[in-house]
């Protein structure tokens, strides 16, 4: 991609697409002598370039903004990536303190919470999907974490606390968020492929290292079993930068194989659901994460009758589930040596279960699996 050197600082190289925005905002954001009002005005320019409702604009400007957002929905994260690569960490983060729009755009309200560093050392390995349609990624994260506890933490490296290095403005005031911590997340992506071609299986893959803050959206994000911010929240944020052009909204509605590609660097295309549960057991025993996908149905979510006649099993359509383990048990998960081998399948959304209708932790036979799911994706060995 062509680059141009920012005349404001010869050490900064900016991609062509966000260059105009960068030239308007960087003089204020990077100037330690700038007044708070000037820095906040620059931050507002970044927000308006990404989040202003098109219905609030005149028709010609709305059309122009729509085209620009199709080409680059989040110029703010592109500017931040250039800063983090070109400048010393302290100078780059001084801009991040003031302008939250330099990071991925949440789907919902612009409210954020920091992932505590203790969450990166927690023993909780449960990954739960928030109010964001990225089950393809969350299910893959959950499957990898079940096979290799600590897998997500292994993708993250702490970059240090830079809040003490942040300069104050000329009147002694501090930025709106003066406790930014940086982490580094390593993911993978197809090499030298555009937005359309990158989904073609078996293209060359390269590692992508993302430097970002520990701020994540307060809502509409992944988390631990109680929806608290966790390592999964940071990996999801990094995926929004690598795969969705810095937009959480664009992270929605993709394929489970892409989730394994981002996390492991291996192409894992969909395959037919095996006829027997024993086949899936061999994958899990070999240390390979497994996810299962349901088909989009005109009627939406659907139910399957339980084989014991004690109720139904509820499933979401166009959704990805995590394979947890195989065991001989009843349809409620109680061990029973005389029962058929069942697959414990978990819904990453984690809705509540009841005696008559199970939604989250399902224990399905091979016959039920073939009725419920259209395909499976099997990741590489992680053990």
pLDDT digits (tens, 9 = 90+) for 222-258: 999 889 999 999 999 999 999 998 889 889 999 999 9
Check: CB of residue 332 under 8 Å from CB of residue 342.
no
pLDDT for 169: 42
pLDDT for 161: 47
pLDDT for 285: 96
DSSP assignment string, 56-79: GS-HHHHHHHHHHHHH-S-HHHHH
pLDDT for 1: 37
Tokens of 134: 């990225």
> ∠ at Cα 47 (45, 49), nearest 5°?
70
Rounded CA-CA distance 310/289 in Å is 31
Check: CB of residue 150 under 8 Å from CB of residue 255.
no
Give the closest residue to 266 by CA, choosing from 293, 234, 289: 289
Catalytic residue among 97, 125, 268, 347: 347
Rg of the chain over CA atoms, in angstroms? 23
Check: CB of residue 296 under 8 Å from CB of residue 317.
yes
pLDDT for 78: 82
Task: Verify whether residue 268 is a known catalytic residue.
Answer: no
Q: Are strands 312-315 and 357-358 parallel, antiparallel or unpaired?
A: parallel
Tokens of 366: 């091979």
Catalytic residue among 135, 220, 268, 377: 135
Rounded CA-CA distance 380/260 in Å is 9
pLDDT for 73: 61
- In this prediction the pTM is 0.87
19-29 and 89-98 are packed helices; what angle lies between their axes, rounded to 10 degrees?
90
pLDDT for 357: 76
Cα dist from 282 to 19, 142, 274, 335, whole Å: 52, 19, 11, 20
Rounded CA-CA distance 169/323 in Å is 52
pLDDT for 352: 66
Tell me the sheet residues that pair with 303: 314
Rounded CA-CA distance 240/107 in Å is 11
Catalytic residue among 97, 125, 220, 319: 319
pLDDT for 272: 96
Residue ranges of the chain with per-residue pLDDT less than 50: 1-7, 161-174
pLDDT for 118: 81
Task: Verify whether residue 319 is a known catalytic residue.
Answer: yes
For residue 7, give the 3-state DSSP assignment: coil
Task: Verify whether residue 220 is a known catalytic residue.
Answer: no
Rounded CA-CA distance 78/32 in Å is 22
């Amino acid at each position: 991609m062509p680059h141009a050197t920012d005349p404001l600082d010869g050490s900064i190289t900016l991609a062509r697409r966000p260059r105009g925005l960068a030239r308007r905002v960087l003089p204020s954001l990077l100037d330690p002598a700038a007044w708070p009002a000037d820095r906040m005005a620059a931050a507002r320019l970044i927000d308006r370039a990404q989040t202003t409702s098109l219905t609030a604009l005149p028709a010609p400007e709305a059309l122009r903004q729509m085209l620009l957002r199709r080409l680059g929905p989040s110029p703010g994260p592109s500017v931040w990536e250039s800063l983090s690569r070109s400048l010393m960490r302290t100078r780059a983060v001084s801009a991040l303190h003031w302008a939250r729009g330099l990071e991925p755009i949440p789907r919902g309200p612009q409210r954020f919470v920091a992932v505590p560093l203790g969450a990166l050392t927690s023993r909780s390995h449960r990954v739960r999907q928030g109010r964001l349609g990225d089950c393809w990624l969350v299910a893959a994260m959950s499957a990898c974490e079940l096979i290799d506890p600590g897998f997500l933490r292994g993708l993250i490296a702490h970059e240090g606390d830079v809040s003490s290095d942040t300069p104050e403005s000329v009147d002694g005031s501090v930025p709106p968020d003066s406790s930014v911590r940086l982490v580094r997340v390593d993911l993978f992506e197809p090499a030298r492929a555009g937005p359309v071609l990158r989904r073609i299986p078996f293209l060359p893959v390269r590692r992508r290292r993302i430097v970002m803050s520990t701020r994540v959206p307060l809502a509409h994000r992944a988390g631990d079993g109680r929806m608290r911010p966790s390592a999964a929240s940071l990996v999801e944020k990094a995926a929004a930068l690598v795969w969705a052009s810095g937009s959480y909204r664009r992270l929605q509605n993709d394929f489970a194989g892409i989730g394994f590609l981002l996390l492991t660097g291996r192409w894992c295309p969909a395959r037919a659901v095996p006829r027997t549960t024993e086949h899936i057991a061999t994958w899990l025993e070999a240390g390979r994460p497994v996810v299962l996908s349901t088909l989009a149905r005109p009627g939406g979510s659907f139910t399957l009758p339980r084989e014991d006649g004690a109720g139904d099993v509820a499933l979401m359509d166009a959704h990805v589930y995590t394979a947890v383990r195989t065991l001989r048990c009843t349809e409620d998960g109680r061990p029973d040596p005389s029962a058929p081998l069942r697959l414990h399948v978990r819904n990453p959304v984690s809705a509540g279960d009841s005696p008559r209708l199970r939604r989250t932790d399902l224990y399905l036979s091979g016959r039920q699996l073939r009725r419920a799911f259209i395909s499976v994706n099997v990741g590489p060995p992680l053990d």
